């Protein structure tokens, strides 16, 4: 089963939740993480400036190499439809916000995006075409999306869930090229790298080797290993993932852990990605009330951290904010 295309929380809000509940393996992203980060302004508001006509004209036609091959865009698109929350954030970060006419129902950042009932998981070509798009960006090719829109002369970029940070950078660059904002895309990537590197440096090495548990879902307990996108981000701080020792090839980086195993591992930090009400509503208080969990160091020391699940599940320009959340937790943890 493929990794969820729209978000890096593959166990929630999608059929993967049910699939994992029956112990179906996830195919997850695996690769070595390179440090990088973005400013809060990279997300910005929903009103981004477009480049001058001469600058845009000089960039087109352009052929962008994406997951669905080389996609040629004849002129700067002015009616963009985004079917991916991450792509939506990327578009606004590179300055293409004014060119976006519709986003899918799960795109909620930045504020003021032109929300719609469109779906990236079950795309309706007829509904998409009503927006008269001259570019569509999605995270997966389902429901004949690419073939259907290509027949109508609409270019489609498929930008799947990133396997590593370099993939995230590359997608921002591709979206910048496709929309006439290559220079701003390059600057966005540069800012991301600089900010994450600074955050990691500031955190230092005092807390290296602290072990942690990353909770993707509870009952059953699924986690993410160091080979996953999130795991690689945390590895920047030198932390040790308790899920690594329990991982099997068939788990795809997302093993199911027994409650007894988690308790016996005695993690110093616990990160919750299922703390939103729609994702199970887990909280430090709920975690502390679980049988045997009160004695876990992370619980005793108040080191159970509920992450912003949107930021933790996407791979766009707000990644530096995720790194900052992790850094703050690491810095507050007792030194080794």
Residues 295 and 160: their CA atoms lie apart, in Å, by 40
Domain limits at 224?
Answer: 15-30+204-332
The verdict on 314 and 243 lying in the same domain is yes
Answer yes or no: are the C-beta atoms of 221 and 292 closer than 8 Å: no
Whether 75 maps to a domain, the answer reads: yes
Answer yes or no: are the C-beta atoms of 27 and 229 closer than 8 Å: no
| CB atoms inside a 10 Å sphere around CB 300 | 13
Which of residues 189, 213, 240 is at a domain's end? 189
CATH code for position 308? 3.40.50.1980
The verdict on 239 and 132 lying in the same domain is no
Per-10-residue mean pLDDT for the chain, 336 residues long?
37 37 34 37 47 58 95 97 98 98 97 97 97 98 96 97 90 97 98 97 87 94 93 92 91 93 97 80 94 96 92 93 93 76
The verdict on 23 and 69 lying in the same domain is no
The verdict on 62 and 25 lying in the same domain is no
The verdict on 245 and 150 lying in the same domain is no
The verdict on 226 and 311 lying in the same domain is yes
Provide the whole-model pTM.
0.81
Residue 46: what pLDDT? 61
Whether 26 maps to a domain, the answer reads: yes
* Number of domains present in the structure of the chain: 2
């Amino acid at each position: 089963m493929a990794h969820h295309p729209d978000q890096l929380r593959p166990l929630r809000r999608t059929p993967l939740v049910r699939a994992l509940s029956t112990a179906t393996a996830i195919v997850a992203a695996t690769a070595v993480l390179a440090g990088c980060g973005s400013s809060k302004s990279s997300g910005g508001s929903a009103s981004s400036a477009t480049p001058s006509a001469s600058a845009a004209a000089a960039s087109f036609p352009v052929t962008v190499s994406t997951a669905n091959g080389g996609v040629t865009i004849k002129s700067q698109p002015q009616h963009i439809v985004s079917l991916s929350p991450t792509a939506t954030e990327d578009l606004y970060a590179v300055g293409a916000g004014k060119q976006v006419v519709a986003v899918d129902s799960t795109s909620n950042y930045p504020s003021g995006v032109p929300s719609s009932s469109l779906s990236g998981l079950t795309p309706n070509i007829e509904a998409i075409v009503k927006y008269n798009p001259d570019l569509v960006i999605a995270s997966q090719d389902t429901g004949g999306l690419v073939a259907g829109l290509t027949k109508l002369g609409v270019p489609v970029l498929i930008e799947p869930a990133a396997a590593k940070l370099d993939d995230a950078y590359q997608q921002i660059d591709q979206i910048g090229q496709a929309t006439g904002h290559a220079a701003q895309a390059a600057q966005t990537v540069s800012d991301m790298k600089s900010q994450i590197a600074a955050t990691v440096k500031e955190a230092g090495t005092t807390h290296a080797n602290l072990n942690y548990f990353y909770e993707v879902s509870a009952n059953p307990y699924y986690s993410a290993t160091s080979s996953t996108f999130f795991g690689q981000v945390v590895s920047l701080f030198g932390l040790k993932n308790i899920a690594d020792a329990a991982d099997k090839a068939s788990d795809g980086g997302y093993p199911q852990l027994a409650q007894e195993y988690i308790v016996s591992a005695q993690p110093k930090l616990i990160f919750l990605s299922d703390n939103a009400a729609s994702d199970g509503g887990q909280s430090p208080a709920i975690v502390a009330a679980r049988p045997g969990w009160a004695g876990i160091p992370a619980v005793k020391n108040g080191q159970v951290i509920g992450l912003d699940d949107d930021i933790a599940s996407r791979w766009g320009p707000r990644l530096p904010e995720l790194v900052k959340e992790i850094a703050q937790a690491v810095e507050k943890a007792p030194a080794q």
